[in-house]
Structure 1
Amino acid sequence: MKNKYFKTALFAALAVAGLTSCKKDKVEEEVIAPYDVPKTYNFAGANYASSTIRVKQMLELDVYMKTANAGTALDAAKATNIFNNTNNPFTEAALNTSGLNLAAKTADATTFKTYLDNLVAHSKINAVATNGTAGYIVRGTAKIIVGAEGLENGQAVTKGMMGSLFFKQALDLLAATKTDGTIALQQQHWDEAFGYLAVPTDYDPSVTYASSLVFPAKPALWGGYLAERGQNITAGKIIFDAFLTGRAAIGAKDVKVRDAQIVIIQDIWEKLAANAAYNYVLSPTLTANAGNLGSQFHALSEAYGFIESLKYRAAGSKLTDANLLKLQSIIKTNFYTLVNEAGFTKLKEAQTILKDTYALPALN
């Protein structure tokens, strides 16, 4: 059954100046008709093709970067072509001819291109990494490619760009709906923002999507993290429902409800990034991971990207600028130093900042 929203707005009429007789102010009632909030994102005319294209481009870049972990020496030209969408680098032809690329919409694009270039260079080093020297580190039955201080540059690219591109673009588009002059433009921007969440139109947070499925039939990037790091804060249901409600409210000219959904999406999406970062600064300090540099550095590299994502949070965030700078300072510490520090002082400080700021549930 669809949800229905009802809203009444009251406007007081001004008293006419110069009247000598006493009259009560007239009150006119403007009623917003009841409207449906559907269960799926199948609104008439919804179009978020540009967001979907960039999600697919990011997924191809991620797949290519991970081939380095299997021993492939990455090609600098190919990596650059994927980042900029030049010289037909994608396996899906439509991505090549889309006229869209990752670089143009990525905040701090030069920084993330540097991470990518570093990965390309390090993929050519067929030697075990040590403190001060790039190379590979064994992780389980596989390996990861890290820089001189232990950072897995591929994770810095993927998780960092989830923030600097998808999260930032989505929040910017949602904020723009408040100033867009027409319903059509508001709907367009809302749809594009939804596309950056990267979930199916019939997304169900209770479903475990088969590994055989591919995006957009199953969630990806942030959509995947709704399940991986968002279940304990019910992020999937809250954000998806807010996107549905807000889109329906735009069509009904229900500005108050629309704006309320923007705040919900901003807060919970940011909390999702913080919860992921919290998981990944906690993991290296657990007894089960002690001395396992592959697992510890992989987790810290993911934390690195998610903490950078918080840089693009909306105004009014619970996270102060001072605490963000502290988190960045901690996660940019040499990873060998972080995991060998007595009592994990710095990592525990990061855990406390994230947990207390966002009231995150405790993890074991």
Structure 2
Amino acid sequence: MKFKNLLLAAMPILFVSITSCSNDDDNVETFNYTVPATYTFERNAVTSVDYSGQSSRLLMLDEMGKYFSTAAANGTVADDSVLSEMYINTNNRFAGTGLNTSGKQLKDKTASSKDYFSLYLGGGSTVEQVSVRDLFEAQFDNGEAASQGPTAAAGVAGVYLDGSSKRLFAANGLEPQQVLLKGMMGACFLDQICNNYLSLNKLDEGTNKTDNTAKILVSGKSYTTMEHAWDEAYGYIYGADNLTVTPNTFKFWSSYINQVNADTDFNTLKADIDLAFRKGRAAIVANDYAVRNAQIDVIKAKLAMVPAVRAVFYLQEGKGKLATDNGAKAFHALSEAYGFIMSLRYTNKPGTNSPYFSKTEVDTMLASMLSGTNGLWAIDTLGAKLDTISTQIATKFGFTVAQAATVN
């Protein structure tokens, strides 16, 4: 598969001149540089962009999700030990080229950012880190139990036939696959983007700024450490997009950015995020750290809108289906909402270095969803809870529930 960093080298470049002031000292320095029309950056005619590790992790999660789907469709066991081995990338469990030998895994990047989970920097706790990793491991157990169970019912893990698709539900009605996919998008990918690779604690760590200003490259590479960190943040969004097929395929955050952007209420989101990544990378090359920092704020704010909007959308979609099959028809959407709500804990509000919703607030919303007898199956009281959570999220981000509910 050819990824976006390889493909874009052949695309035309739009030249935009930017003038700004350096924030390194009291002296005003003017830079004139170009922002490419695509995420294409080269040094000595060689690409200086590399996010192969991020591509690997995105594809690993994609295969883990498909493992659940295949087990449900074929009536086979979703073996929790296989999923656990995929999580830490051992015993050659992946089919994708190079994944087994990539040296990459998902578990060690789950809840591991510098800003939120580095004890040295006073971030989150190892207790929380262990807890969220255990939560994903629990989805492997839930998937295995459901794959061997009867028809899913209140308090009973099993299989639910949703149209032509079969889905695995835990005893509380949550779909383990969706909790894993959407939750990992937050706890791994979003956390790494906003709280690690776009953190000044990472970008400016040690001699990074001095080295970038002097253009001292990583040994054997065509990029500086700071350039590479920025590219790795970019890769956690776009690293598994495939633009060599028709129609193009988009994965995880890239796909959901497109979905939110498709609504007229949020139709500048995609362009805003894309431009901020390109402008910030160009600013790094030009040693313009003030512009770089401004783009970090744009990316963090705009990207946080995606799980917020999608959480409300799926909460409302699920609410609309509660009357079907004793509520089971709604549980796929509600499980997606559950995972996106989890992701809100890993957002980063510019100027605060804190999430838009704290861990306690997120945990309270999640607990509310499952607070009835047998979790989601308590459909008589669930609808009101979904509305309350929807309003809480929408109000925090400055949109209405109705606006988010219309996103396809």
* TM-score bracket for this pair, using the shorter chain length: 0.7 to 0.9
Residues 4 and 295 (structure 1 numbering): CA distance in 2 closer, same or farther, change over 3 Å?
farther
User: What pairs with 1:339-354 in structure 2 (closer than 5 Å)?
Assistant: 339-341=379-381, 344-354=383-393
The question of 1:162 aligning with 2:185 is answered yes
* 8 A contact 1:303–1:331 mirrored in 2: no
- Equivalent-residue separation in structure 1 for 2:81 and 2:359 (angstroms): 37
Match of 1:327 in 2: 365
- Equivalent-residue separation in structure 1 for 2:144 and 2:358 (angstroms): 35
Match of 1:3 in 2: 16
Of 217, 224, 228, the residue aligned with 2:255 is 224
User: What pairs with 1:1-364 in structure 2 (closer than 5 Å)?
Assistant: 1-9=14-22, 30-44=28-42, 45-70=48-73, 71-107=75-111, 108-125=132-149, 127-171=150-194, 172-175=196-199, 176-179=202-205, 180-181=208-209, 182-183=211-212, 184-198=224-238, 210-211=246-247, 213=248, 218-232=249-263, 233=266, 234-286=268-320, 290-292=323-325, 293-314=327-348, 315-319=353-357, 323-333=361-371, 334-337=375-378, 339-341=379-381, 344-361=383-400, 362=403, 363-364=405-406
Q: Percent identity?
A: 30
> Which segments of 5 or more consecutive residues in structure 1 lack a partner in the other structure?
14-28, 204-208
Deviation (angstroms), 1:30: 3.1
CA RMSD of aligned residues (A): 2.4
Segments ≥4 residues shifted beyond 6 Å: 10-13, 200-203
* 8 A contact 1:164–1:309 mirrored in 2: yes
Deviation (angstroms), 1:117: 2.1
**Cα deviation per residue 1:303-361 (whole Å; 9 max; x = unaligned)?**
11111111112224443566434322223331012x3227x211110110111111225
Residues 297 and 129 (structure 1 numbering): CA distance in 2 closer, same or farther, change over 3 Å?
same
**Cα deviation per residue 1:95-142 (whole Å; 9 max; x = unaligned)?**
1111111111112222211112221222111x2111111112221222
* 8 A contact 2:145–2:157 mirrored in 1: no
**Cα deviation per residue 1:213-240 (whole Å; 9 max; x = unaligned)?**
5xxxx32111111122343323222111
Q: Which amino acid aligns with 1:222?
A: W
Residues 332 and 32 (structure 1 numbering): CA distance in 2 closer, same or farther, change over 3 Å?
farther
Deviation (angstroms), 1:12: 9.4
- Equivalent-residue separation in structure 1 for 2:24 and 2:335 (angstroms): 54
Deviation (angstroms), 1:201: 8.4
Q: Secondary structure at the match of 1:130?
A: coil
> Which segments of 5 or more consecutive residues in structure 2 lack a partner in the other structure?
1-13, 43-47, 112-131, 213-223
Residues 201 and 298 (structure 1 numbering): CA distance in 2 closer, same or farther, change over 3 Å?
closer
Q: Which amino acid aligns with 2:176?
A: N
Match of 2:124 in 1: none
Q: Which amino acid aligns with 2:178?
A: Q
Q: Secondary structure at the match of 2:29?
A: strand
TM-score scaled by structure 1? Answer: 0.85
- Equivalent-residue separation in structure 1 for 2:191 and 2:85 (angstroms): 23
- Equivalent-residue separation in structure 2 for 1:152 and 1:341 (angstroms): 20
- Equivalent-residue separation in structure 2 for 1:285 and 1:201 (angstroms): 31
TM-score scaled by structure 2? Answer: 0.76
Structure index of larger Rg? 1
- Equivalent-residue separation in structure 1 for 2:159 and 2:240 (angstroms): 36
Answer 1 or 2: which has greater strand percent.
Answer: 1
- Equivalent-residue separation in structure 2 for 1:60 and 1:248 (angstroms): 34
Equivalent residues, number? 335
Residues 8 and 80 (structure 1 numbering): CA distance in 2 closer, same or farther, change over 3 Å?
closer
Residues 9 and 305 (structure 1 numbering): CA distance in 2 closer, same or farther, change over 3 Å?
closer
* 8 A contact 1:249–1:258 mirrored in 2: yes
- Equivalent-residue separation in structure 1 for 2:354 and 2:54 (angstroms): 26
- Equivalent-residue separation in structure 2 for 1:41 and 1:201 (angstroms): 13
Q: Which amino acid aligns with 2:290?
A: K
- Equivalent-residue separation in structure 1 for 2:25 and 2:105 (angstroms): 50
Q: Which amino acid aligns with 1:198?
A: Y
